[in-house]
């Protein structure tokens, strides 16, 4: 770990991320602040083919569906992660929201818990995809947790690790 990542980590909070098909809930373990919305992302496709994110979360619902593409990256009939790129953008936004008052981009430790479509456990591919998703959103350390929902009141990253 570089000294820069270490410093960014000291300025970041630990996050508990729970994902359902139609909901993403991110809790700041230290401050108990919670972000709870639908995992939607609206994209505008420019004439040159470039894509620009215009809204995330519930703000996407009121947009003109003819002008923007609205996607839910966690909506798929068989697995929880349907679109890696869109999911990463949603998580990047949420991580920045949870660290809005910081001047340096965050590098939080993350506990990631898929809340549905985990019958029979996660495959190695799913675990890696979720880990890479969190790392792409800026996490410096990730725990993929499957089991009962954790209580935010006595949650400790180091004990889960």
- Domain assignment present for residue 103? The answer is yes
Q: What was the pLDDT predicted at 64?
A: 86
pTM above the 0.85 mark? Answer: yes
pLDDT beyond 80 at 101: no
pLDDT beyond 80 at 105: no
Convert the pLDDT of each residue in 132-151 to its tens digit: 999 999 999 999 999 999 99
- Domain assignment present for residue 80? The answer is yes
Average pLDDT over residues 53-81: 91
pLDDT beyond 90 at 12: no
Average pLDDT over residues 1-15: 66
Q: What was the pLDDT predicted at 32?
A: 92
- Domain assignment present for residue 112? The answer is yes
Contact residues for 140 (Cβ-Cβ < 8 A; gap 6+) = 1, 5, 8, 9, 12, 107, 108, 109
Q: What was the pLDDT predicted at 41?
A: 94
Structural domain harbouring 110: 15-37+74-152
Average pLDDT over residues 88-99: 91
Q: DSSP for 25-76?
A: EEEETTT--EEEE---EEEEE-TTS-EEEEEEGGGGGGS-TTTSEEE-TT--
Compute CA distances 114 → 36, 62, 135, 146, 159, whole Å: 15, 27, 16, 7, 19
Q: What percent of the chain has pLDDT over 70?
A: 91
Q: What was the pLDDT predicted at 110?
A: 97
Average pLDDT over residues 61-75: 90
- Domain assignment present for residue 86? The answer is yes
Nearest Cα neighbor of 58 from 68, 66, 70 is: 70
Domain total in the chain = 1
Domain of residue 111, CATH code: 3.30.420.40
Q: What was the pLDDT predicted at 138?
A: 92
């Amino acid at each position: 770990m570089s000294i820069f990542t270490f410093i960014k980590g000291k300025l970041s909070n630990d996050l508990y991320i729970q994902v359902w098909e139609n909901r993403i809930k991110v809790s700041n373990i230290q401050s108990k602040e919670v972000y709870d919305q639908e995992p939607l992302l609206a994209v505008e496709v420019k004439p040159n083919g470039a894509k620009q994110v215009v809204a995330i979360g519930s703000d996407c619902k009121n947009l003109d569906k003819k002008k923007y593409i609205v996607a839910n990256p966690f909506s798929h009939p068989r697995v929880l992660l349907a679109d890696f790129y869109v999911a990463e953008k949603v998580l990047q936004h949420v991580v920045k929201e949870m660290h809005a008052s910081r001047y340096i981009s965050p590098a939080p430790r993350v506990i990631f818990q898929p809340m549905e479509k985990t019958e029979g456990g996660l495959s190695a591919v799913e675990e890696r995809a979720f880990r890479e998703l969190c790392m792409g959103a800026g996490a410096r350390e990730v725990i993929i947790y499957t089991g009962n929902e954790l209580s935010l009141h006595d949650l400790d990253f180091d004990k889960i690790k």
